[in-house]
Amino acid sequence: MPELPDHLANDSYRARGVRDGRGIFCADAGEELHMPIVAQGLQVLFVLAFAPLLKGIMDRVKARGMRRQGPPWVQPYRNLWKWAHKSIVRTPYTTGLADWVPVLYFTAPLIVTLLIPVLTTMPLPLAFMADILGGGLILAGAGFLLLFYALDSGSAYAAIGVSRIRLIGTLGEPLTVMAVFTAAAVGHSTIPYTVNQAFFAQSFFAPVHLLVLLAWLLLLLAEAGRLPVDNPDSSQELSLIDPNRVFEASGPDLALLEWGGWMKYTVLSIILVNVLGWPVGLAAGLTPGALALAVLTTAAKLVVVGLVVVGIELSFAKLRLMRIAEYLTLSVALAALAALAAGL
């Protein structure tokens, strides 16, 4: 279990929710003992319920930016309901891998939600199960399983998507590691709750802060399959990258995979705004009012990030496959500059 650094094991921090360096949680005086568990469950429910709404908002705004009516904001919920009530159709080549990969891919972002500051500034009971590296491994492992799921279908289009995703991952994975280690160097810890306080303590316009934020934003576009890396609204099978992984999915399998993808984007956006960004508006206490305000604040910040992503998509065309490597090389260069600024 990761340990807290010495500068966080003081009396004031211990009173806010950590008993000692082992990461054992204790409630504040006057707080109900069950409130930490409630807050932890609220974080999971927030990501679970808000991810489809965020997807609907982004699709609606993007359509309006293209002078189209666009789907209603609640369309992702309707799609999930429709897919959940359809039958599962699989190719003759499918093995038992298809039975459990959608569930694991759906669960992975929810596990990472337990490790990061979604609504509170204080660590919650399960926040010390793993550090930020462990959370990255969970998401990467789920994505790796999804690649096997796509190949398991025997579809040629899925194979094309898998090969292209691995090309992107060749540079995307070093970018993730470099950004994580830069953030850890600033916070002197790999615990997300420690890293966000370290960034919050320094100027927002510090070079290392701005460079890490920009590098993570470029990584977010690549990991979520957004323009200019991929076009999620395209129906051209030969030009798709990320959607080709679920090309042969149907019914409840498709619902779990799509929902899991939306939650992955939401979790990566939360890391951007609450860990690497500016964790303003998070609950400093476990009272219902503070948690309700944190829900609204975090939702507003995620919508702002979503609008920025939509603005980028409306401003750029999809890059050619070989040009994506140049895009990711730029992202790695920004992360490397951030690492130098952090003294690595």
Determine contact, residues 218/211, Cβ cutoff 8 Å. no
Helix (H) or strand (E) holding 31: none
The CB-side HSE value for 219 (13 A sphere, CA atoms) comes to 30
- Candidates 138, 122, 126, 135; CA nearest to 40 is 126
pLDDT surpasses 80 at 332: yes
Residue in the block written with tokens 């949680």: 25
Is 119 within 8 Å of 43 (Cβ atoms)? yes
**Per residue in 98-129, pLDDT tens?**
889 999 999 999 999 999 999 998 888 888 88
195-207 pLDDT, tens digit per residue, is: 888 877 777 778 8
Beta bridge partners of residue 120, listed in sequence order: 283
pLDDT for res 235: 62
What is the value of pTM for the model shown?
A: 0.87
Whether the Cβ atoms of residue 163 and residue 93 lie closer than 8 Å to each other: no
The mean pLDDT value of the chain amounts to 83
Tens of pLDDT, residue by residue over 265-284, are 999 999 999 998 888 889 98
Q: What is the pLDDT of residues 53-90, one digit of tens each?
A: 999 999 999 999 999 988 999 999 999 999 999 999 88
Residue pLDDT, tens place only, 22-60? 343 444 444 456 788 899 999 999 999 999 999 999 999
pLDDT on residue 2: 46
pLDDT band, residue 344 (cuts 50/70/90): low
> Where do runs of H (alpha helix) occur along 191-250?
192-201, 207-223
